Amino acid sequence: MTKISTIPFYKTGYFSKTICDYLDQNSSISSFYGEFPNLDGFKKQIDLKHHSKLVSESHRKILVDSLISQYDNIKTSKKTKANIDSLLSENTFTITTGHQLNLFTGPLYFLYKIISTINLTEELKRKFPDSNFVPIYWMATEDHDFEEIQYFNFKGKKIVWDKECLGGVGSTSNEGLEFVLDEFSKLVGTSDNAKKLKSLFQKSYLEHDCLSDATRYLANELFGVYGLVILDGDDANLKRQFSPFVEQELFQKTSFEEVSKTIEELGKEYKIQVNPREINLFYLTEGLRERIVFDAGIFKVNNTTIDFTKDELLYELKLHPQRFSPNVLLRPLYQEVILPNLCYIGGGGELAYWLELKSYFEKVEVPFPILLLRNSAVLISEKQSRKLEKLTISIEELFLKQQDLVNKKIKEKSNLEIDFTSQRNEIERLFNELEEIATKTDKSFIGAVNAQRTRQLKGFDKLEKRLLKAEKRNNQDFTERIKKLQDEIFPKQSLQERNTNFSEFYLEYGDELIPRIKSALKPLLLEFTVIEM
């Protein structure tokens, strides 16, 4: 039976000050976001979006027509079809997450992002039954960082698609993925669940021509039953709606000016995630995605011979809006212009750059969405749970740095008193008395007193470390068991969700994997989830 526990994000040690302060609603960060992700915030956001001029009947019709076209060659679940149709209604809103087209979903957090999005729509429907809420997965088809997505990890081995990619990754041919399947097949075994995984990979990648089609099929197979709607923003009709904002970006530098002012303020307290460019757009054609730059009165496509006058660029935008691709800072605006969206769900790094954008959204009169940190989780097998219990490691202790965890457990296990805290306190008391005497007699003696205090305390530190080291040698097997178990649960001493592919767990849990994760994740709880399977 699945056991679920949670701990605050800040206690894990894996989340930035920016995110921890955001979740804590710290006053130093509150001016950089709109409504907070709670039910009261969503009520206000629904009202805000209802009155937005962007969410018009014609906008919704274009969105639905584009989605129907994108789903033309894919088996669509009744729930997904109903969700797409419902987008024509003024009472329907979206909850959106976005992600790269990672090979075979990449790390586990791909699942957590989408499950967070689905679960939130279901929770909002229960709370606001007069409205409809549609979960959207925005495929990052225009991204060109192929090196980030061309592999996935399986049981400590990196399975790589050895291929060169130019331009947006979505149009990349799936040629060569049969070799990836061969390599994966050698590792995954021959169980029934292994056969299902191999079949899923084959149908996704070998029976579709390009990476965007393969990813849409894969995500639909995994989440279509829950009504997930998969959107490709690389769409001429959707981009045509965004053209006025593209024109403004090209000729007025609005995002550069507004975001620059924001990061000047935000940077006083927090690390800046992304810096704006004067033009935050790429020029996108087959095999090409390069920045648009303005130089000596001419608009040029970086690293090419392509250039435009202002009039030529306006004509190009009118004729081919799909060729203008927003970068990481402009994509959020594109999303909010074409969707009746309430909330964006992302990881810590994503929310950090969204926090740079609020004043820009206000300047261009687009409602700023609620920002929700996606669910994060660690999956622990039944066997690992038994080992944790035997080693008396609590869930919170599991998140300690490995050396700190080992030291803590050795001290608890040892029959010796390894912690010299009481002795240190006694030394401090004695030297405080000596310092007081020196103050009343000869103040020049204070320096010598404090120097001796430091030497004595350092001596205790050395003795404690030597004693602890000796106890580790005496309990080497115990120490190694702790290290091995933590390394299993936290690969490379980082979060499991950033390394491990879902296939490792699917091998054991099969079709029950996603439902079990889904039942455990609560998006508005705003805590890290530990799922003991």
The domains of the chain are located at 3-238+331-376+515-532, 385-504
Sheet containing 229-232: which strands, arranged edge to edge?
Answer: 229-232, 132-139, 92-99, 341-346, 370-373
Return contacts of 448-454, CB within 8 angstroms, 24+ apart: 453/427, 453/428
DSSP 223: H
* Residues 125, 128, 130: CA angle, nearest 5 degrees: 95
CB 120 within 8 A of CB 95: yes
b or e along 42-64 (b: 16 or more beta carbons within 10 Å of the residue's beta carbon)? beebbebbeeeebbeeebbebbe
What letter would DSSP give residue 365?
A: T
Between CA 491 and CA 485 the distance in angstroms is 10
Element (H, E) at 528: strand 528-532
Closest by alpha carbon to 366, among 240, 245, 460?
Answer: 245
DSSP calls for 234-285: --HHHHHHHHHHHHHHHHH-HHHHHHHHHHHHHTTTS-------SS-EEEEE
pLDDT in tens, the chain (533 residues): 799 999 999 999 999 999 999 999 999 999 999 999 999 999 999 999 988 888 889 999 999 999 999 999 999 999 999 999 999 999 999 999 999 999 999 999 999 999 999 999 999 999 999 999 999 999 999 999 999 999 999 999 999 999 999 999 999 999 999 999 999 999 999 999 999 999 999 999 999 999 999 999 999 999 999 999 999 999 999 999 999 999 999 999 999 999 999 999 999 999 999 999 999 999 999 999 999 999 999 999 999 999 999 999 999 999 999 999 999 999 999 999 999 999 999 999 999 999 999 999 999 999 999 999 999 999 999 999 999 999 999 999 999 999 999 888 888 876 555 566 667 676 778 777 667 777 777 767 777 767 777 777 776 666 666 666 656 676 788 889 999 999 999 999 999 999 999 999 999 999 999 999 999 999 999 999 999 99
Token look-up 């090419």 returns 304
Which candidate, 297, 309, 252, 255, places its Cα nearest to that of 277? 255
d(CA 356, CA 275): 9
Backbone angles phi, psi at 399, to 5 degrees: -90, 0
CA 134/CA 340 separation, integer angstroms: 10
